[in-house]
């Protein structure tokens, strides 16, 4: 099978793991689509001082990418790898790049084009493809609370009619997607996989954290947003810390959301806030110092942060929303609490602090289990699409 897999930096931590396995089963061409409006995400970072626009082979721009050895590992064995750089502002240049993409696609001759989500800059390319065998990953069937985007909703309505098959990343997500969109084509039931790439990005120490031997560090990590329940976490921690003076809560991440501090935590050394972008080279140090990751989300589909924790074997505490508990049930390490229980998170923290042995057996850390399952499902899906007319 000749497959073109299109991905982008915001989801490249997942895509890289899937590419690394899928390339063993199909003839895989990879296209990484980068918006220069905000090019750097997760494991991908451009070096400064380079003017890029248009399509480049991976070999042609190796010297312009940080951590290039990591990408060489993931891309080795692929039939081809290209990077597409879109300018910050949308204009006529998008049309020029789109036609260059169509020309490249014609030369590669993929039987199936698989998008790991899609951006507005890639919409024209997807719509103009003559290949009707298009697979689209849907990471979030509906937007999180407070993050609705009307433009994205319109783009989906335009694009979805052309898709030959979809893929979601949990039972919850698949059911929600089918309920909202009523697809008449196959929907593959994939899973997110541990992000082992982070372990190779260095161990730059985070200066804000200096963990002592007798301390326990509770971690919230990720972009700050209303749906993530940071206020509830602070409230629960403010009550628990009174009986456990040797614990610290680290809130590490950047965002536009301003949470309220409980009175007992104002000026408290037990609370460490790192209100900035966490560099990729700092992630390993952050998780290795954490005793538990906490995801107190008010709503969710699934969470890439859980996959970062899985890569570092860090236990987790999650609310029972969306598919978070699915990932624990599937073999994660940690605790699940009831979001509707006002003392649920507080009791869960107490349970962890008094008996830190996780409830579930930790098997999610198996390097290849989830990703090989995904590849098997995808190969079967591709074969099904190619057999149909």
β-bridge partners, 136: 115, 166
The span from the CA of 280 to the CA of 109, in Å, is 35
Please identify every stretch of the chain with a pLDDT value under 50, giving residue numbers as ranges: 331, 359-366
Is residue 346 helix, strand or coil?
A: helix
CATH of domain 203-354: 3.40.50.2000
pLDDT for 332 equals 54
pLDDT for 361 equals 37
Q: Which residues, 6+ apart, have CB-to-CB distance to 307 below 8 Å?
A: 13, 14, 192, 193, 194, 195
β-bridge partners, 115: 6, 136
Alpha-carbon dihedral 222, 227, 228, 231, rounded to 10 degrees? 120
E strand residue ranges, 236-285 = 247-252, 271-274
The span from the CA of 201 to the CA of 203, in Å, is 7
Domain 2-194+368-387 fold is Rossmann fold (3.40.50)
Domain locations in the chain as residue ranges: 2-194+368-387, 203-354
Kindly state the tokens that stand for 213.
Answer: 């031997």
How many Cβ atoms from other residues are within 10 Å of residue 125's Cβ? 24
pLDDT for 333 equals 64
Question: Model's pTM, two decimal places?
Answer: 0.90
The span from the CA of 61 to the CA of 83, in Å, is 8
> C-alpha 88: how far from its chain's center?
23
């Amino acid at each position: 099978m000749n497959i073109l897999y299109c991905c982008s930096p915001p989801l490249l931590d997942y895509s890289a793991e899937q590419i690394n396995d899928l390339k063993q089963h199909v003839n895989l061409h990879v296209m990484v689509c980068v918006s220069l409006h905000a090019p750097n995400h997760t494991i991908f970072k451009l070096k400064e001082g380079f003017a890029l626009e248009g399509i480049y082979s991976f070999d042609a721009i190796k010297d312009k990418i940080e951590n290039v050895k990591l990408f060489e590992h993931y891309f080795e064995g692929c039939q081809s790898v290209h990077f597409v750089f879109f300018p910050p502002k949308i204009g006529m240049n998008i049309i020029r790049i789109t036609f260059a993409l169509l020309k490249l696609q014609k030369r590669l001759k993929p039987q199936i084009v698989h998008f790991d989500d899609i951006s507005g800059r890639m919409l024209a390319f997807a719509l103009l493809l003559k290949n009707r065998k298009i697979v689209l990953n849907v990471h979030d069937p509906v937007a999180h609370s407070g993050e609705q985007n009307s433009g994205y909703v319109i783009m989906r309505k335009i694009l979805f009619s052309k898709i030959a098959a979809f893929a979601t990343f949990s039972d919850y997500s698949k059911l929600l997607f089918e309920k909202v969109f009523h697809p008449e084509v196959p929907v593959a039931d994939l899973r997110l996989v541990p992000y082992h790439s982070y372990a190779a990005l260095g161990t730059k120490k985070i200066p804000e954290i200096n963990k002592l031997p007798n301390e326990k560090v509770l971690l919230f990590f990720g972009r700050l947003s209303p749906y993530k329940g940071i206020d509830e976490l602070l409230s629960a921690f403010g009550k628990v810390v009174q009986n456990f003076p040797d614990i610290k809560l680290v809130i590490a991440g950047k965002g536009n959301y301003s949470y309220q501090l409980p009175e007992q935590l104002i000026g408290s050394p037990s609370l460490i806030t790192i209100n900035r972008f966490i560099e990729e080279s700092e992630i390993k140090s952050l998780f290795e110092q954490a005793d538990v990751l906490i995801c107190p989300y008010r709503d969710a589909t699934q969470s890439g942060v859980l996959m970062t924790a899985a890569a570092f074997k860090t236990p987790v505490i999650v609310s029972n929303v969306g598919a978070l508990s699915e990932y624990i049930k599937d073999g994660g390490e940690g605790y699940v609490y009831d979001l509707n229980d006002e003392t649920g998170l507080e009791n869960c923290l107490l349970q962890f602090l008094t008996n830190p042995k996780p409830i579930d057996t930790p098997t999610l850390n198996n390097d290849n289990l989830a990703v090989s399952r995904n590849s098997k499902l995808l190969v079967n899906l591709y074969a099904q699409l190619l057999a149909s007319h």
